[in-house]
């Protein structure tokens, strides 16, 4: 079958990879937009704790009920996706010769009050059922024994194993290289129109291409693209910013998680992630976001303010209201599918989504 995938973010590339593994023909067309989410994400893979910066968009009742934990509707997908990453890392590293540095970093979940601490304590058996360790850290003293710079205002915390981090830019590069090796054609062009009756697409270069199956993984641009064939999908753009700090002598050995994530990445910089602005579709970095991230980080580690901000990025997530992805055939038996809506955890979902796309397109499950 002639499969065309629109988009070379993690959803499009993982879908292409899964199809190629089944021996299918795949062409990936990507618009080469600057600063796509896939290249700029924090790169955190976490089955148990919610996304970095996601508190601001989850419904308040879910924040109150689950505290720092991932909402229930996301838990199964999160864990299965997490396991897929472990399965694929060595395989793709060997195939592509590109190392996207998947590594474990212990998380200290910061609790600012008794309620958050109880929520984490109550989740112990759930966390351990995934094979992760969790140790409760009672009061400032116990937390500061691990990371001495934490704020004296915190109530306590928990030390949780299992959080993985990867270098997102290298991850995309590795996926691209892997699908190329497996025989995919990759075209730098923009898909402008889909003719669902003739099963053809028209590109910006005026080229017309035919497909048997069309998989649309155009990130936050997906909604607009499918609106051209009269389909409305329930998703929206959600802008996110990250700041990067030079560590000086600050020895950060953990991923500190609370109102944001603070972590030393494989580039040697301390990343603070992320802001979340619904229905924003621009790539402007702002002082407002920088200050929000610094304030959130300083509430956990006050001395973070003394470090120099040497980088700031902005990109746009393809988000959905319930935080769950959209993987479906948009018009029955049309051969046109969408795979999108990764929101703040699309990197983590990627391999799982690839498998779903394969099942939907080939096996028609
Ligand atoms: C600040 C921030 C931090 C994040 N941190 C994490 C994290 O720690 N962990 C995690 O799991 N996830 C994280 N995410 C989420 C993750 O980055 C996204 O969910 C995921 O990258 C979305 O991938 P995608 O392939 O759907 O879209 P994108 O990455 O947006 O890719 C879309 C692709 O479609 C192409 N395209 C668009 N229109 C067309 C067209 N008409 N023709 C051809 N090509 C087209 C684009 O050029 C691009 O190649 C974060 C996101 C943000 C914003």
User: At the topology level of CATH, where does 1-104+166-235+320-365 sit?
Assistant: FAD/NAD(P)-binding domain (3.50.50)
pLDDT of residue 247: 96
pLDDT of residue 63: 64
pLDDT of residue 54: 61
- Between the alpha carbon of residue 253 and those of residues 40, 68, 204, 259, the distances in Å are 22, 21, 48, 19
Tell me the three state secondary structure of residue 71.
Answer: coil
How far is it, in rounded angstroms, from Cα 156 to Cα 278? 31
Burial 309-319 (b: 16+ CB within 10 A, else e): beebbbbbbbb
**269 C-alpha to center of ligand 1: Å?**
22
Q: Sketch the domain layout of the chain as residue ranges.
A: 1-104+166-235+320-365
- Asked, as a colleague might, if the bond just before 59 is cis with ω within 30 of 0, I would say no
pLDDT of residue 64: 65
Are residues 159 and 137 in contact, defined by beta-carbon separation less than 8 angstroms?
yes
The closest residue, in CA terms, to atom 33 on ligand 1 is 7
Are residues 227 and 331 in contact, defined by beta-carbon separation less than 8 angstroms?
no
**36 C-alpha to center of ligand 1: Å?**
5
- Pairing mode of beta strands 156-160, 134-138: antiparallel
- pLDDT tens digit at each of 365 positions of the chain: 999 999 999 999 999 999 999 999 999 999 989 899 999 999 999 988 987 766 656 666 666 667 788 888 899 999 999 999 999 999 999 999 999 999 999 999 999 999 999 999 999 998 999 899 999 999 999 999 999 999 999 999 999 999 999 999 999 999 999 999 999 999 999 999 999 999 999 999 999 999 999 999 999 999 999 999 999 999 999 999 999 999 999 999 999 999 999 999 999 999 999 999 999 999 999 999 999 999 999 999 999 999 999 999 999 999 999 999 999 999 999 999 999 999 999 999 999 999 999 999 987 65
Residue 334 half-sphere exposure, CB side, CA atoms within 13 Å? 22
- What is the pTM assigned to this prediction? 0.97
pLDDT of residue 168: 98
pLDDT of residue 70: 87
Which 8-state DSSP code applies to residue 360?
A: I
Tell me the three state secondary structure of residue 120.
Answer: helix
**86: CB partners within 8 A, 6+ apart:** 102, 164
Which 8-state DSSP code applies to residue 266?
A: T
Query: How many Cβ atoms from other residues are within 10 Å of residue 177's Cβ?
Result: 16
* Mutate which of 325, 347, 352 for ligand 1 pocket (most atoms within 8 A of beta carbon): 347
């Amino acid at each position: 079958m002639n499969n065309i995938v629109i988009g070379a973010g993690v959803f499009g590339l993982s879908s292409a990879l899964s199809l190629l593994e089944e021996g299918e023909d795949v062409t990936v067309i990507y618009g080469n937009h600057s600063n796509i989410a896939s290249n700029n994400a924090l790169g955190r893979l976490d089955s148990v704790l919610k996304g970095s910066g996601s508190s601001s968009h989850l419904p308040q009742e879910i924040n109150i009920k689950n505290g720092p934990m991932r909402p229930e509707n996301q838990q199964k997908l999160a864990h299965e996706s997490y396991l897929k990453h472990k399965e694929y890392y060595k395989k793709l590293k060997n195939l592509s010769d590109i190392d996207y540095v998947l590594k474990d970093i212990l998380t200290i979940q910061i609790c600012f009050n008794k309620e958050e601490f109880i929520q984490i304590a109550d989740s112990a058996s759930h966390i351990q059922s995934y094979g992760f360790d969790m140790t409760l850290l009672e009061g400032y003293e116990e937390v500061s024994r691990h990371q001495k710079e934490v704020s004296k205002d915190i109530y306590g915390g928990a030390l949780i194993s299992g959080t993985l981090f990867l270098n997102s830019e290298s991850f995309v590069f590795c996926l691209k290289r892997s699908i190329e090796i497996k025989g995919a054609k990759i075209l730098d062009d923009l898909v402008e129109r889909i003719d669902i009756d003739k099963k053809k697409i028209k590109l910006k270069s005026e080229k017309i291409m035919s497909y048997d199956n069309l998989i649309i993984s155009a990130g936050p641009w997906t909604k607009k693209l499918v609106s051209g064939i009269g389909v409305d999908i329930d998703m929206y753009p959600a802008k996110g910013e990250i700041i990067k700090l030079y560590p000086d002598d600050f020895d950060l050995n953990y991923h500190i998680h609370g109102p944001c994530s603070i972590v030393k990445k494989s580039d040697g910089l301390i990343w603070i992630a992320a802001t979340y602005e619904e229905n924003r579709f621009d790539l402007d970095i702002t002082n407002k976001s920088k200050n929000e991230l610094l304030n959130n980080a300083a509430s956990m580690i006050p001395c973070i303010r003394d470090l120099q901000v040497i980088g700031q990025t902005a990109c746009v997530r393809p988000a959905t209201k319930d935080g769950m992805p959209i993987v479906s055939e948009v018009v029955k038996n049309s051969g046109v599918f969408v795979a999108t809506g990764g929101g703040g955890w699309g990197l983590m979902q990627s391999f799982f989504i690839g498998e779903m796309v394969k099942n939907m397109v080939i096996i028609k499950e």
